[in-house]
Amino acid sequence: MVQDLIWAKLAEHHQATQARPLRALFAEDSARFTDFSARLDDLLLDYSKTAVTAQTRALLLELAEATGVAGQRDAMFAGEAINTTEKRAVLHTALRAPKSHRVLVDGQDVMPAIHETLDRLGAFADGVRGGRIAASDGAPFTDVVNIGIGGSDLGPVMVTLALAPYHDGPRLHYVSNVDGAHIADTLARLDPARTLFIVASKTFTTVETMANAATARRWIAAALGEAAVGAHFAAVSTALDKVAAFGIAPDRVFGFWDWVGGRYSVWSAIGLPVMIAVGPTHFRAFLAGAHAMDEHFRTAPLAHNLPVLLGLIGIWHRDICNYPARAILPYDQRLLRLPAYLQQLDMESNGKRVRKDGSPVERPSGPLVWGEPGTNGQHAFYQLIHQGTDTIPCEFMVAAEGHEPELAHHHRLLLANCLAQSEALMKGRTLEEARELLAKQGLSEADIAALAPHKVFPGNRPSVTLAYRKLDPFTLGRLIALYEHRVFVEAAIWGINAFDQWGVELGKELATALLPVIEGKAPADAHDSSTAGLAGYLTASS
Ligand code: F6P
């Protein structure tokens, strides 16, 4: 097959070029930054600090052609049922398309319903923000608690924090974990009379969310009476019948569709808490940013297409260089939850071991995704990134401008640190340089010999940097959509379905089977001795 040949060429090319350090690539080509960066307006992707050369890029682009990335992309945008195991279309892109677009699913244009829901969401959000939609005593809500987990939590949490400078609505809180500590600690700070709950669950069956929602309902009923419950709850789901059974009035229920995956749902009604926080206008700017990235992904030539390039770099690092992980390192405190968000987006999408046709994936698929904002990470785990025995490709993100002009000095320090890290990773420090440094400090020859090896940085550690003018709603939308499509490109090359998540099923089934054991209603002996032993220990009275 053509693609096997290209994979082989890539491996050969890697073999032939891996001894050439990144330092040398920069020394040889003074225009390397220009040659190996791409832009969408102010959004810049610099991939010059990877080992990708013109030949690497050409081979990777050939791979994208041979695996039909563009065709698969077009099938997604056209509403084909590309989520094959669930026989569903994948149309989170339609959620951020303008009203004038036509997107057909089974011959039906989905755009009118999307915009009708958006308008209803906007009216509800404005109502809560302005006090027209009020608590049972008629006074405005001061606090909104979103109850959801996974895609019904991580997106809104991440975006609410990222858009803090635009937050002028009620305070937002998020409860996800079934651990009672989460809801208890949240409710302890709140006044039931001033609190609105949004129960967010695509399926409205997720145990964690249902348990937290029931606890919240009891809390409101106990404090304000059963009659107050209706005023203090709203819901977001695709399962409207189940929401009705929970007792939430239809005018407070916002639907979405089975062609929106949980981890791709922040653009749908799942974004309601964000809309309440920042207002419908900013939320629409967030959607517009994502749409701009969709259009770029759909139309830009592959060689200049940001999601395609980012995906190909991912493939190069994972499959050709065999790096097991990627670190997400935003130099942007408000992107604190972006690594966690991208963990679900990437690992739930591409953590797969079989292809769409059920055959095994022949190469390593999705990497381990992790990270923390800089500069905090620098004082925690960067030691391993610089001097550990594994190479971890890093993805830096940084804004040219902060939101605090009065603290411009902080921003300059942030920028200097971000650039210093990618430079240090790329350049490293040789033994000779380490020795020179120590000699300058006046150390003895014996001390230099003892200390120098510890001061060596191998360098040659790849990173990409995403730079943008300012983290506003439009840019955040572009950034998230960029990562969504990057995950898509990688999945398309591996031939896997990025839109199902069967891997979370088994744990759920076993938890259901174990609950009677924990409740003392069933014996533990059907389980292995470790599970039974632990259950015995954890349920024994002290
Ligand atoms: O963890 C599995 C999963 O199905 C995720 O894909 C999803 O985002 C999450 O659970 C929550 O599901 P729901 O929105 O249906 O409650």
Q: Is 393 in the pocket of ligand 1 (CB under 6 A)?
A: no
**What's the gap in Å between 202 CA and the centre of ligand 1?**
7
Residue 542 in this model has a pLDDT that exceeds 90: no
Residue 263 per-residue DSSP state? G
From the candidates 379, 440, 454, 521, give the one annotated as an active-site residue: 379
Residue 246 is predicted with a pLDDT of 86
**What's the gap in Å between 151 CA and the centre of ligand 1?**
6
The strand ranges marked E within 274-409 are 325-331, 368-371, 394-399
**What's the gap in Å between 201 CA and the centre of ligand 1?**
7
From 157, 202, 264, 268, mutation site for ligand 1 pocket: most ligand atoms within 8 A of C-beta: 202
214-239, pLDDT tens digit by residue? 999 999 999 999 999 999 999 999 89
**What's the gap in Å between 178 CA and the centre of ligand 1?**
13
Q: Which atom of ligand 1 is nearest to the CA of 152?
A: 14
Q: Is 202 in the pocket of ligand 1 (CB under 6 A)?
A: yes
- Mean pLDDT is lowest, of 238-252, 279-293, 393-407, for 238-252
Q: Is 231 in the pocket of ligand 1 (CB under 6 A)?
A: no
**What's the gap in Å between 158 CA and the centre of ligand 1?**
16
Single pTM value for the model:
0.97
From the candidates 348, 372, 395, 490, give the one annotated as an active-site residue: 348
User: What are the CA-CA distances from residue 462 to residues 6, 19, 46, 517 (Å)?
Assistant: 22, 14, 11, 49
86-135, pLDDT tens digit by residue? 999 999 999 999 999 999 998 999 999 999 999 999 999 999 999 999 99
Residue whose Cα lies nearest atom 10 of ligand 1: it is 150
Assign 203 a pLDDT band (cuts: 50, 70, 90): very high
Q: Is 152 in the pocket of ligand 1 (CB under 6 A)?
A: yes
Active site residue 379: yes
443-482, pLDDT tens digit by residue? 999 999 999 999 999 999 999 999 999 999 999 999 999 9
Q: Which atom of ligand 1 is nearest to the CA of 501?
A: 6
3-state secondary structure (DSSP) of residue 492: helix
Average pLDDT, the chain: 97
504-533, pLDDT tens digit by residue? 999 989 999 999 999 999 999 999 999 999
Q: Is 209 in the pocket of ligand 1 (CB under 6 A)?
A: yes
Instruction: Retrieve residue 219's tokens.
Output: 């809390």
Q: Is 201 in the pocket of ligand 1 (CB under 6 A)?
A: yes
Residue 319 per-residue DSSP state? I
234-249, pLDDT tens digit by residue? 999 989 889 988 889 9
| Tally of helices (H runs) and strands (E runs) in the chain | 22, 13
**What's the gap in Å between 341 CA and the centre of ligand 1?**
13
Q: Is 263 in the pocket of ligand 1 (CB under 6 A)?
A: yes
**What's the gap in Å between 191 CA and the centre of ligand 1?**
29
Residue whose Cα lies nearest atom 8 of ligand 1: it is 151
139-194, pLDDT tens digit by residue? 999 999 999 999 999 999 999 999 999 999 999 999 999 999 999 999 999 999 99
Active site residue 508: yes
**What's the gap in Å between 149 CA and the centre of ligand 1?**
6
Residue 214 is predicted with a pLDDT of 97
Residue 195 in this model has a pLDDT that exceeds 80: yes
Nearest to 269 by CA among 173, 360, 170, 156: 156
Percentage of residues in the chain with pLDDT exceeding 70?
A: 100
Helices 180-187 and 207-224, axial angle in degrees (round to 10): 30
Kind plus residue range of the DSSP H or E element containing 146: strand 143-147
Q: Which atom of ligand 1 is nearest to the CA of 263?
A: 8
Residue 247 is predicted with a pLDDT of 84
Assign 442 a pLDDT band (cuts: 50, 70, 90): very high
Kind plus residue range of the DSSP H or E element containing 366: none
Q: Which atom of ligand 1 is nearest to the CA of 262?
A: 8
CA atoms of 383 and 347, how far apart (whole Å):
24
CA atoms of 402 and 398, how far apart (whole Å):
9
Residue 245 is predicted with a pLDDT of 87
361-374, pLDDT tens digit by residue? 999 999 999 999 99
Q: 224-228 contacts: CB < 8 A, separation 24 or more? A: 224/136, 224/192, 224/193, 227/136, 228/135, 228/136
The residues, any chain, with a CB within 8 Å of residue 490's CB and separated by 6 or more, are 311, 314, 315, 318, 350, 365, 366
313-365, pLDDT tens digit by residue? 999 999 999 999 999 999 999 999 999 999 999 999 999 999 999 999 999 99
Residue whose Cα lies nearest atom 6 of ligand 1: it is 262
Residue 541 is predicted with a pLDDT of 84
Q: Is 237 in the pocket of ligand 1 (CB under 6 A)?
A: no
Q: Is 150 in the pocket of ligand 1 (CB under 6 A)?
A: yes
The residues, any chain, with a CB within 8 Å of residue 230's CB and separated by 6 or more, are 247, 248, 249, 252
CA atoms of 78 and 74, how far apart (whole Å):
6
CB 46 within 8 A of CB 33: yes
Q: Is 262 in the pocket of ligand 1 (CB under 6 A)?
A: yes
CA atoms of 212 and 231, how far apart (whole Å):
18
Q: 10 — alpha (psi -120 to 50), left (phi > 0) or beta?
A: alpha
